[in-house]
Structure 1
Amino acid sequence: MSAEKARSDGSADGHAPMSLRERKKQLTYEAVSDAAIALFLQRGFDKVSVAEVAAAADISKPTLFRYFPAKEDLALHRFADHEDEAARVVTARPSGTTPLAALRAHFLDGLERRDPITGLCDAPEVLAYHALLYGTPALVGRLHAYLRRSEDALARALGGSLPDRLAAGQITAVQRLLASENWHRINGGATADELYAEAVEAAERGFAQLRSGLEGPL
């Protein structure tokens, strides 16, 4: 979503500043992905070829595949920056703050900012993108791979043990379900402002259940 572009210089959210070469590469990723998504929204994912995306982005097809190994990745690049977001939150949390408390605060902040990753965003372009994503089986299937990598990154940040992996799975599932519920209600016609208080209440309940179910320093 828009959060990736806000961090395209790598200077925020725990990233070290990017080199000029890295920044140019990131801008290329974004430009190609944006061109692809524009075509997908206009004509449908299955009706647009990779060759057409390459032509729209003014690059060759082999070059495109160096950036995006699969057609689905062109649409899901907007999720790429979020793959290790939970892990970064845990790693960068203040001293004395538990991982779960840090993740709760981060999710609540996302709701307040109407971050699309929380599902609580009614911007027309975000709604159109979500409709494309969840209405295309190939993209939904590919999204699961992104979610697995996010869960694995969080597990490593928590310590990497079996209990840590179990905790990461539960945390990831709660955040995914909260975001999905927000998106479905907005897709049904509610506004983000109307749902904000209920979304916060649901998030508090979800994280409270995690606190009661997870043992140890989490």
Structure 2
Amino acid sequence: MAEAMGLRERKKLQTAQRIYRIAVQLFVERGFDNVSVQEIADAAEVSKMTVFNYFGTKEDLVFGPAEGHFGDAARAVRERAPGESAADAVRRQFLEMVEARDASVGLHREPFARQVYQLVLNTPVLMERAFLASQKGTRELAALLAEETGDRTLALIAAATLNAARSALIEEHHRRLDAGESPDEIAAEAPERSRQAFELIEKGLKGYAVKS
């Protein structure tokens, strides 16, 4: 991606990434509430206004680059092939992200991604932001399913269940990483664990929202 960008765009991306990493490191070391945006700007050697040009709020300094992943399940369902159920699409996408060791599913080799996860868990205002983002992703998925099936209530139930399964699997990945297992060890068992999780859902959602 960087190769396709012009020099100005690359510099902007590099600046945003530097600010993001410095901010997260300060939050991890001192606590989210104990670090000001001005202190982040000083550490990154930019102005406070520059920080806000890249990140609209202090919370965006944690969520900005990754918040879109709360809509991953909706994207999987929106882009699924004819004949593929909603549950199959979400499971397939999840396993593709496991294979790529994507940080959003808790399997990135770099400790930084785990620091962000722990930072959110340990900070009430960030947990609230994560909850709201998760709810937004669930309702986005529900809207897609409701449009296809015509039943908003069942669509919301299905969407909440599918996202809950993903969240539980991701939480398990983080738990095992914290216990000392490697991403490769966890990923090796992910297909079977994922099969069990979504099979449990499919007992209630079997045949639901199969794309025609």
TM-score (norm 1): 0.77
Structure 2 match to 1:51:
38
Segments of 5+ residues of structure 2 without an aligned counterpart are: none
User: Any gaps of 5 or more consecutive residues in structure 1?
Assistant: 1-5, 12-17
Percent of aligned positions with the same letter in both sequences?
36
Equivalent residue for 1:37? 24
1:149 aligns with 2:149: no
1:70 is aligned to 57
Equivalent of 1:208, from 185, 191, 199?
A: 199
Q: Is the CA contact (8 Å cut-off) linking 1:155 and 1:165 kept in structure 2? A: yes
- Distance (whole Å) between structure 1 residues aligned to residue 87 and residue 14 of structure 2: 33
Q: Is the 8 A contact 1:32 1:57 kept in 2?
A: yes
Contact 2:106/2:113, CA 8 A, preserved across alignment? no
- Answer with 22-31 or 171-180: which moved more: 22-31
Mapped contact 1:79–1:146 kept (Cα < 8 A):
no
Distance 2:195 2:29 in 1: 38
Q: Encode CA deviations 1:134-178: one digit per residue, 9 max, x unaligned.
A: 232332222111111111111122235221111110001110011
Answering whether residue 204 of structure 2 is matched by residue 217 of structure 1, we say no
In structure 2, what residue type is equivalent to 1:187? D
User: What is residue 124 of structure 2 aligned with on the other side?
Assistant: 137
Match of 1:162 in 2: 153
Alpha-carbon distance between aligned partners in 2 of 1:29 and 1:41, rounded to the nearest angstrom: 18
After TM superposition, the structure 1 stretch with the greater mean CA deviation from structure 2, 166-175 or 123-132, is 123-132
- Cα 1:66–1:156 change in 2 (3 A) is farther
Relative to structure 1, is the Cα distance of residues 21 and 211 closer, same or farther in structure 2, using a 3 angstrom cutoff?
Answer: farther
Post-superposition offset of 1:44 = 2.9
Amino acid at match of 1:126: A
Residue 211 of structure 1, CA deviation: 1.4
For 1:124, which of 111, 126, 139 is the aligned residue? 111
Partner of 1:173: 164
Give me the whole-angstrom Cα distance separating, in 1, the residues matched to 2:142 and 2:37.
35
User: Following the alignment from structure 2 to structure 1, what is the Cα–Cα distance between the partners of residues 171 and 137?
Assistant: 16
Counterpart Cα distance in 2 of 1:61 and 1:154: 37
Cα distance between partner residues in 1 of 2:10 and 2:74 = 22
Per-residue deviation, residues 19-69 of structure 1 (Å, max 9, x unmatched): x99998877654543332232234332221122223445555456446544
